[in-house]
């Protein structure tokens, strides 16, 4: 909490105001969902600490500076794991579902001056999944692309565009979780 408040204060000192917070920090443990015994209390604490508590502390830290500036936008980077219950581990899925709920509750609590939304990417290209999936990355990516109605998976740029849309788009949008997954969620 103290670190988040210091960072918010440093931002205001450097730029004179604070208008936008994008919360993209996230951690996981790659643990098969059926392997319940492999999940430790440390996994739960670390994953929820970063993915949920950290997001809350940062949002609380920017509230005052954003209100002082006349308003702002917070965008949380969630995951399809929080909507569909699929992903790297059960604690990760639970943390992202909780982040989606935090998005809605903060949207209520910080309205009308601060909008809070979330982007929930599906399978996304890049080193994070490559590192977690190892040699299985390419075959899984190809299978996801074939299953997706739009025939491709997320690129980091797709997520960035969705975030930017929440920041610069309509000021009537708050409390929303936007799935960015090429249609995988609706593919069944």
Active-site residue identified among 48, 92, 123, 166: 92
DSSP 52: I
Between CA 68 and CA 175 the distance in angstroms is 21
Task: Report how far apart, in Å, the C-alpha atoms of 141 and of each of 55, 82, 123, 133, 154 are.
Answer: 29, 20, 8, 10, 10
Identify the sign of the CA torsion 59, 82, 79, 163: negative
Active site residue 92: yes
Inter-axis angle of helices 90-110 and 41-48, to 10 degrees? 30
Catalytic residues: 92
């Amino acid at each position: 909490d103290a670190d988040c408040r210091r960072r918010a204060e440093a931002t205001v000192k450097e730029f004179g105001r604070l208008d936008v917070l994008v919360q993209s920090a996230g951690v996981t443990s790659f643990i098969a969902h059926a392997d319940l015994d492999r999940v430790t209390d440390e996994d739960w604490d670390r994953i929820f600490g970063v993915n949920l508590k950290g997001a809350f502390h940062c949002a609380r830290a920017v509230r005052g500076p954003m209100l002082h500036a006349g308003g702002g936008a917070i965008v949380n980077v969630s995951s399809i794991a929080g909507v569909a219950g699929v992903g790297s581990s059960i604690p990760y899925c639970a943390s992202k579902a909780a982040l989606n709920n935090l998005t809605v509750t903060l949207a209520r609590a910080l309205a009308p001056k601060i909008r809070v939304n979330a982007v929930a990417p599906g399978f996304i290209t890049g080193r994070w999944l490559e590192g977690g999936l190892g040699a299985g990355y390419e075959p899984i990516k190809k299978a996801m692309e074939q299953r997706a109605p739009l025939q491709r998976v997320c690129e980091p740029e797709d997520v960035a565009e969705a975030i930017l849309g929440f920041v610069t788009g309509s000021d009537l949008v708050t409390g929303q979780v936007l799935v960015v997954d090429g249609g995988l969620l609706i593919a069944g």
